[in-house]
């Protein structure tokens, strides 16, 4: 069975459709041939039975009228008792006792093989002396058998021919039906970037297939464009720290100065740290775009926010004050690394623009959602730029330092990948307000 499935799966769609249609047509025509032969057989046997019954009734009428069994006997008519013993002076019947009992019960029989095939039929009658006699008549079915044999052969041959014709018609029809698909396949293979397949005018399956192809091509072109743009932006961002490290190293080699060595190494370390952060963000974005995410698990958002504040506080000594507001425990469906990445990027972004205070709040929002709110008292974000800030490599204020414009896009990708949302607005007293709604 497995070998047949492999063989069947390796055949073309046109051949498979043709074979199925041909096989179904052959089976249907053979069944119709058998049905036709059966109907013809029943008709011939019924006609023979009618003729034999007329002969039996005629002989029975003579016996009822008192005629002797010898007078009612004929070439195809015999008179016997209920045990099958002849009473007409003729020889014994060439029948078994079981066959005689079947005739006495009113059943007609076909006895013999081709070409000596006979039809036997009996009629019971009560003669004037009160005894029961069987009028047995027999007819020759050789002609009917020959006709049936010829009819069966003819019907089978006609079924085979018609099945072959149906198979050829199915092959031609399938080929004609699939020819537009072949043309569409060849057109798609030779389609230049940015072009689309022509859509057929009729509203049929081919039109739907062409429209789906065009949607797929549009998604492909969009993905390629985003990949090219992302690659170009990433290369540009990577060039800056690499060029800075190289320039500082070349200056240090060309003009060795022990007094500037520590400052040079510190600058190289800062640029290397910036490069490492950029590469980590790029890898995280690539994994988020690819949809490769580990299974979600409950993560304590309050504890994760406290840890993120502790990390931010340890990284700087002159930054704004950090405040955590968490009235109730809350857990979200994610992974600890995703939650830490989201919190670190939001807190760092808020600290970069805050004047004196950054507030992190973990608030319930129904039974299935938790709100994470990060606010600062900085200048805020203009309303026209509140959607643009999630674009990759975009920095509204490059002079603020730090970051490569990947933090907020990474936050949006991670949160939306878990079915959440990220929005940005303004505080009532001024400053930016980021709100993350995370599924529990």
State pLDDT tens for residues 112-132: 776 677 888 888 888 888 788
Closest CA to 177 of 13, 9, 25, 23: 13
- Which of 28-37, 177-186, 261-270, 411-420 has the weakest average pLDDT? 261-270
> Using CA of residue 310, residue 314, residue 315, residue 317, what is the dihedral sign?
positive
pLDDT tier, 260 (very low <50, low <70, confident <90, very high otherwise): low
Statement: residue 156 has pLDDT above 60: yes
> Using CA of residue 332, residue 336, residue 338, residue 343, what is the dihedral sign?
positive
Statement: residue 51 has pLDDT above 60: yes
Q: What is the rounded average pLDDT of the residues 378-397?
A: 69
Structure confidence at residue 181 (pLDDT): 75
User: HSE of 169 in the Cβ direction (CA atoms, 13 Å)?
Assistant: 9
pLDDT tier, 4 (very low <50, low <70, confident <90, very high otherwise): confident
Statement: residue 402 has pLDDT above 60: no
Structure confidence at residue 79 (pLDDT): 86
pLDDT tier, 278 (very low <50, low <70, confident <90, very high otherwise): low
Statement: residue 173 has pLDDT above 80: yes
Structure confidence at residue 262 (pLDDT): 67
Q: Render pLDDT for 324-349 as a digit per residue (tens, 0 to 9).
A: 888 888 888 888 888 888 888 888 88
Angle (CA) 102 103 104, round 5°: 90
Under 8 Å between Cβ of 422 and 415: yes
Q: List strand residue ranges (DSSP E) for 93-245, in order.
A: 109-113, 116-126, 132-140
Under 8 Å between Cβ of 118 and 145: no
Q: Give how far Cα 402 sits from Cα of 58, 234, 296, 433, Å.
A: 122, 16, 31, 20
Statement: residue 237 has pLDDT above 60: no
Structure confidence at residue 63 (pLDDT): 82
Structure confidence at residue 158 (pLDDT): 85
Statement: residue 391 has pLDDT above 70: no
Does residue 271 or residue 184 have the better pLDDT?
184
Statement: residue 405 has pLDDT above 70: no
DSSP state of 430: S
pTM of the model: 0.49
Q: What is the mean pLDDT of the chain?
A: 78
Statement: residue 318 has pLDDT above 70: yes
Q: Give how far Cα 318 sits from Cα of 89, 186, 357, 407, Å.
A: 139, 65, 12, 22
Structure confidence at residue 236 (pLDDT): 54
Q: Give how far Cα 269 sits from Cα of 138, 264, 311, 352, Å.
A: 118, 9, 20, 20
Specify the 3-state DSSP secondary structure of 35: helix
Does residue 296 or residue 148 have the better pLDDT?
296
Compute the distance between CA of residue 414 and CA of residue 418 in angstroms, rounded to an integer.
7
Say whether the peptide bond before residue 173 is cis (omega within 30 degrees of 0).
no
Question: Based on the number of CB atoms within 10 Å of its own CB, is 413 exposed (0-12), middle (13-18) or buried (19 or more)?
Answer: buried
Does residue 358 or residue 270 have the better pLDDT?
358
Share of the chain above pLDDT 90, in %: 0
Provide CB contacts within 8 A for 336, sequence distance 6+: 299, 304
Statement: residue 316 has pLDDT above 60: yes
How many CB atoms within 10 Å of residue 392? 21
pLDDT tier, 288 (very low <50, low <70, confident <90, very high otherwise): low
Structure confidence at residue 394 (pLDDT): 58
Compute the distance between CA of residue 334 and CA of residue 438 in angstroms, rounded to an integer.
9
Q: Render pLDDT for 221-236 as a digit per residue (tens, 0 to 9).
A: 777 776 666 666 566 5
Q: What is the rounded average pLDDT of the residues 344-357?
A: 84
Compute the distance between CA of residue 195 and CA of residue 116 in angstroms, rounded to an integer.
80
pLDDT tier, 208 (very low <50, low <70, confident <90, very high otherwise): confident
């Amino acid at each position: 069975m497995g070998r047949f499935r492999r063989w069947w799966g390796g055949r073309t769609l046109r051949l498979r459709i043709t074979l199925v249609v041909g096989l179904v047509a052959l089976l249907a025509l053979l069944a119709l041939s058998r049905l036709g032969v059966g109907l013809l057989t029943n008709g011939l046997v019924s006609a023979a039975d009618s003729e034999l019954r007329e002969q039996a009734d005629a002989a029975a009428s003579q016996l009822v009228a008192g005629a002797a069994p010898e007078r009612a006997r004929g070439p195809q008519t015999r008179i016997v008792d209920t045990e099958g013993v002849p009473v007409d002076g003729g020889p014994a019947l060439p029948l078994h006792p079981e066959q005689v009992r079947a005739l006495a019960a009113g059943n007609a029989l076909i006895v013999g093989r081709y070409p000596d095939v006979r039809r036997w039929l009996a009629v019971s009658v009560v003669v004037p002396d009160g005894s029961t006699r069987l009028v047995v008549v027999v007819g020759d079915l050789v002609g009917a058998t020959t006709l049936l044999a010829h009819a069966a052969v003819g019907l089978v041959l006609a079924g085979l021919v018609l099945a072959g014709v149906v198979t050829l018609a199915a092959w031609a029809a399938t080929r004609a039906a699939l020819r537009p698909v072949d043309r569409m396949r060849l057109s798609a293979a030779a389609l230049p970037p940015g072009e689309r397949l022509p859509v057929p005018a009729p509203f049929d399956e081919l039109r739907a297939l062409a429209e789906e192809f065009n949607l797929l091509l549009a998604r492909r072109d969009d993905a390629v464009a985003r990949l090219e743009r992302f690659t170009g932006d990433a290369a540009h961002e990577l060039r800056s720290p690499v060029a800075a490290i190289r320039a500082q190293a070349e200056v240090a080699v060309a003009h060795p100065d022990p007094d500037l060595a520590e400052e040079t190494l510190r600058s190289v370390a800062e640029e290397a740290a910036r490069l490492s952060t950029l590469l980590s963000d790029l890898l995280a974005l690539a994994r988020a775009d690819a949809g490769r995410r580990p299974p979600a698990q409950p993560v304590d958002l309050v504890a994760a926010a406290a840890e993120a504040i502790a990390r931010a506080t340890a990284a700087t000594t002159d930054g704004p004050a950090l405040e955590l507001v968490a009235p109730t425990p809350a857990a979200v469906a994610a992974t600890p690394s995703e939650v830490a990445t989201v919190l670190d990027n939001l807190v760092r972004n808020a600290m970069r623009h805050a004047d004196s205070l950054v507030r992190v709040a973990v608030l319930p929002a129904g039974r299935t959602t938790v709100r994470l709110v990060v606010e600062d008292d900085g200048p805020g974000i203009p309303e026209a730029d509140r959607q643009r800030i999630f674009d990759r490599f975009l920095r509204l204020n490059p002079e603020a330092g730090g970051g490569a414009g990947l933090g907020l896009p990474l936050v949006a990708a991670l949160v939306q990948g878990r079915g959440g949302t990220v929005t940005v607005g303004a505080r009532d007293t001024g400053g930016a307000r980021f709100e993350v709604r995370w599924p529990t």
